[in-house]
Amino acid sequence: MCGIVGYVGRRPAAPLIFEGLQHLEYRGYDSAGIGLIKADDTFELYRNVGRVAALLECFEPRQSDSHVGIGHTRWATHGAVSVLNAHPHRSYHGDFLLVHNGVIENFKTLKSFLLEKDYAFYSDTDTEILANLIEFYYQQQATTEPASFLQAVQEALRHVQGTYGLAVLCQDCPNHLLAARNGSPLLIGIGDNEHIVASDAAAIVTYTSQVIYLRDREIALMSSDDLQICTLQSENVSAEVCTIDWSPEEAERGQHEHYMHKEIYEQAQVIVNAIRGHISDDFSSPRFGGLAPLGNRWNEIDRIVFCACGSAWHACLEAEYLIEHYAHIPVEVEYASEFRYRNAPLSKRTLVVVVSQSGETLDTLAALAEAKRRGYPVVGITNVVGSTISRETDCGIYQHAGPEIGVASTKAFTSQLCILAMLAVYLGRLRHMDYTEGVSFIQALQELPQKIEETLLLEQQISEIAQRYYQSEQFLFLGRQTLFPVALEGALKLKEIAYVYAQGYPSAEMKHGPIALVSKECPTVIFATQAAIFPKTLSNIQEIRARNGPIIMVATGEIPMDPSESEAFVIIPKTHPALQPILATIPAQFFAYHMALRRGCDVDKPRNLAKSVTVE
Ligand code: AGP
């Protein structure tokens, strides 16, 4: 997906847009561009491939006299990474500049239509087609007033199939900025004699905490002191103004070299935030006020289906183990992109839960829509207040983990593990778990932040392990039961930021094929924190060692393992079994981070990735 910023107001637009794009660069960084309406009411356009900073090669933001502009940082979908394909795109006759996040699915039909109308194209993007479609309908209008600008966009978007977050400038309306949304997030910051449009709050929070979250098929036309929101059918919309619940400092890197490093270290506070307000008065059970809308349904559900992607999917897999163990409710974990087409058989007492850090992942939104289409109640767990998932679900739980800027999920993942462990015990205490079990879990929960701080002290030891293995090109990650999702997450971290092929498996499954990979060139990371089943894991260790496979162990102190039996050994604090995966994840995060550093990778903006995938 991409990052969009738009501005109209009392300040110079270019520096604010440039800085906003830098805050959104984690959303995509193939190319960037800024389009402005100058004081003489003409357009100026700057685009470059690479990071936002590359724009400084073609202009100096502080020298611009513009107070209206749009900007974009791209994650390529249609068309290669090039200046010609970079946004903003200009319409054929020069009336419009436009930036877009999303995918126009019927772009071929629209392009054919426009070619018949003698339009020509310079890029390979679907976005340029949209700019020309808007211009085509604008030139049908009787006037060049802002109302005609709005009507042209409405008419064009009524012919569009697909997703978009848009910011548009019209040269005839030099004091106006238009924004529109369908499927790709877009917020409007309400400032003092100014409005800021952005893909997420990180580009707005410096100037105002008052925002409106545009909803699907809504359009906003704004000047510095006026804002009109309506639908594609021109019905006026009264939008709710929300308050951003975090400060600008939280979106900064501070003294850390990378956002990922900062966010790994924020995890103790993240757990404090996840727990806050979610413990019963007698300290014997978690509680979730946000789940109240489902009332007694919590006692009646006989199956839970989780839908998510990536790290959030791994967290849901953890929830399967914990909910089935503590609440005896059958759980299914679906890749969201599969659920929407699979026609899964669901009973009337099924509950669907969608989990998403960004709350905007399109595959997860599609699964949500499918569950709602079939009439099922849907619970949402997300980290972004006002996100689509938070607004489209029947009820839910906010993670309150603060903005996660690093593309590789760290604190959001452990926050989800904590909330899902609490949900498992909450459901268990409605059914089979007795008071003492509940009290024991709550006590462990309250001690967890301190144990995270202790685990963070392992960074240097893990960095040294990475120093030994950073030239390895493949790894296995193994874990049993509740540590299997941690093995999957550790492998994903290594893949996405160090570009090393890694695969997670249930430990015993290694014998059924993957053992063929075991050799000196393929180290294995093994998570072993459950003493009762350790003898089985020890067998796997022996099988690997018999084939000269290096072993990196992540274990608790109670595991009867001779350190000489592995090339590297990391001891993490022991905690409640339902919370142990959270501590086991931290060494995997550090390992991927230090492997990436030694391999010269960009930790916060890894190649080909984007923070929130708002395309299918
Ligand atoms: C995790 O490190 C990845 N960046 C990615 O798999 C991510 O978890 C996935 O895209 C889901 O994102 P979401 O939680 O915002 O829905």
Q: What is the pLDDT of residues 255-289, one digit of tens each?
A: 899 999 999 999 999 999 999 999 999 999 999 99
Ligand 1 centroid to residue 602 C-alpha, Å = 17
Whether pLDDT at 616 is above 80: no
Mean pLDDT taken over the chain: 94
Least confident of 245-249, 326-330, 342-346, 475-479: 245-249
Overall average pLDDT of the 158-181 stretch: 96
What's the confidence (pLDDT) of residue 27? 72
- For 525, residues 6+ apart whose C-beta sits below 8 A from its C-beta are 475, 476, 477, 478, 487, 490, 552, 554, 588, 591
Ligand 1 centroid to residue 314 C-alpha, Å = 10
Q: Which residue in the block uniquely carries the two structure tokens 């925002």? A: 211
CA dist list (Å): 244 to 5, 96, 247, 403: 17, 31, 8, 11
Say what the pTM is.
0.83
Cite the residue boundaries of each domain of the chain with CATH code 3.40.50.10490. Answer: 252-453, 457-600
Residue closest by Cα to atom 7 of ligand 1: 310
Burial class (CB in 10 A: 0-12, 13-18, 19+), 71: buried
Calculate helix-pair angle for 310-327, 484-498, nearest 10 degrees: 170
Q: Which residues sit opposite 378 in a β-bridge?
A: 352
What's the confidence (pLDDT) of residue 24? 86
Cite the residue boundaries of each domain of the chain with CATH code 3.60.20.10. Answer: 3-244
- For 281, residues 6+ apart whose C-beta sits below 8 A from its C-beta are none
| Pocket flag, ligand 1, residue 327 (CB < 6 Å) | no
* 253 vs 68, higher pLDDT: 68
| Pocket flag, ligand 1, residue 416 (CB < 6 Å) | no
Find, among 397, 361, 420, 150, the residue nearest to 289 by Cα.
397
Ligand 1 centroid to residue 537 C-alpha, Å = 30
Whether pLDDT at 179 is above 90: yes
Spell out where 158-233 has E strands: 164-170, 177-182, 187-191, 194-198, 210-213, 218-222, 227-231
Overall average pLDDT of the 176-194 stretch: 95
Q: What is the pLDDT of residues 52-75, one digit of tens each?
A: 999 999 999 999 999 999 999 987
Structure tokens at 556: 């608790």
Q: Which atom of ligand 1 lies nearest, measured to the CA of 410?
A: 2
Which one is catalytic: 262, 411, 451, 611?
Answer: 611
What's the confidence (pLDDT) of residue 250? 79
| Pocket flag, ligand 1, residue 407 (CB < 6 Å) | yes
* 50 vs 306, higher pLDDT: 306
Q: Which atom of ligand 1 lies nearest, measured to the CA of 364?
A: 16
Overall average pLDDT of the 160-171 stretch: 96
CB-CB neighbours of 583 under 10 Å? 25
∠ CA 422-424-429, nearest 5°, is: 95
Calculate helix-pair angle for 411-429, 435-456, nearest 10 degrees: 170
Whether pLDDT at 224 is above 90: yes
Ligand 1 centroid to residue 277 C-alpha, Å = 26
2 assigned to active site: yes
Whether pLDDT at 299 is above 90: no
Whether pLDDT at 136 is above 80: yes
What's the confidence (pLDDT) of residue 275? 96
Q: What is the pLDDT of residues 551-565, one digit of tens each?
A: 999 999 998 888 777
Spell out where 232-325 has E strands: 242-243, 303-308
∠ CA 105-111-114, nearest 5°, is: 140
What's the confidence (pLDDT) of residue 386? 83
Residue closest by Cα to atom 9 of ligand 1: 310
Given pLDDT bands bounded at 50, 70 and 90, which one contains residue 46?
very high
Q: Which atom of ligand 1 lies nearest, measured to the CA of 382?
A: 14
- Angstrom distance (rounded) from CA 180 to CA 176: 14
Q: Which residue in the block uniquely carries the two structure tokens 């695969």? A: 503
Q: Which atom of ligand 1 lies nearest, measured to the CA of 611?
A: 4
117 assigned to active site: no
Ligand 1 centroid to residue 409 C-alpha, Å = 6
Given pLDDT bands bounded at 50, 70 and 90, which one contains residue 76?
confident
- Fold exhibited by the domain 3-244: Glutamine Phosphoribosylpyrophosphate, subunit 1, domain 1 (3.60.20)
Overall average pLDDT of the 315-329 stretch: 98
- Angstrom distance (rounded) from CA 349 to CA 114: 50
What's the confidence (pLDDT) of residue 564? 77
* 436 vs 142, higher pLDDT: 436
Whether pLDDT at 183 is above 90: no
Ligand 1: which of 263, 309, 318, 383 to mutate, judged by most atoms within 8 Å of the beta carbon?
A: 309
| Pocket flag, ligand 1, residue 337 (CB < 6 Å) | no
- Fold exhibited by the domain 252-453: Rossmann fold (3.40.50)
Ligand 1 centroid to residue 310 C-alpha, Å = 5
Q: What percent of the chain has pLDDT over 90?
A: 83
457-600 carries CATH number 3.40.50.10490: yes
3-state secondary structure of 143: coil
